[in-house]
Amino acid sequence: MVSLLRKLVPPSEYRKLLGAVVVIAANAGGAWTPIGDVTTTMLWIHGQITTLKIMQGLFIPSTVSLAVPLALMSLTSEANGSSEKSSSLLSSEQVAPRGQLVLGVGIGALMFVPVFKALTGLPPFMGMLLGLGILWILTDAIHYGDSERQRLKVPQALSRIDTQGILFFLGILLSVGSLESAGILRQLANYLDANIPNADLIASAIGVASAIIDNVPLVAATMGMYDLTSFPQDSDFWQLVAFCAGTGGSMLIIGSAAGVAFMGVEKVDFFWYFRKVSGFAFAGYAAGIISYLAVQNLHLSLPTSLVEIPFISGS
Q: Which residues contact 66 (CB under 8 A, 6 or more apart)?
A: 24, 25, 28, 29, 284
The predicted pLDDT at position 145 comes to: 75
pLDDT of residue 174: 87
State the residue range of the domain holding 277.
1-78+163-298
Tell me, what amino acid is at 119?
Answer: L
Helix axes 236-247, 199-209, angle to 10 degrees: 20
Give, rounded to a whole angstrom, the gap between the first and last alpha carbons of the chain: 31
How far is residue 259's CA from residue 23's CA, in Å, rounded to a whole number? 6
CA distances (Å), origin 275, targets 66, 202, 271: 18, 27, 6
In which residue ranges of the chain is pLDDT below 50? Answer: 84, 86-92, 304-315
Decide if 139 contacts 154 (C-beta within 8 A): yes
CA-based R_g, the chain, Å: 21
| pLDDT given for residue 297 in this prediction | 85
Domain-embedded: residue 139: no
Number of structural domains the chain divides into? 1
Could you give phi then psi for residue 213, rounded to 5 degrees? -100, 145
Is residue 236 exposed (0-12), middle (13-18) or buried (19+ Cβ within 10 Å)?
A: middle
Tell whether 86 is covered by a domain: no
pLDDT score, position 241: 94
The pLDDT of residue 279: 93
Asked whether the beta carbons of 59 and 243 are under 8 A apart, the reply is: no
Within-domain flag for 278? yes
- The answer as to whether 174 is a domain residue is yes
- Assigned domain for 49 exists: yes
In a domain, 98, yes or no: no
What's the predicted TM-score (pTM) here?
A: 0.78
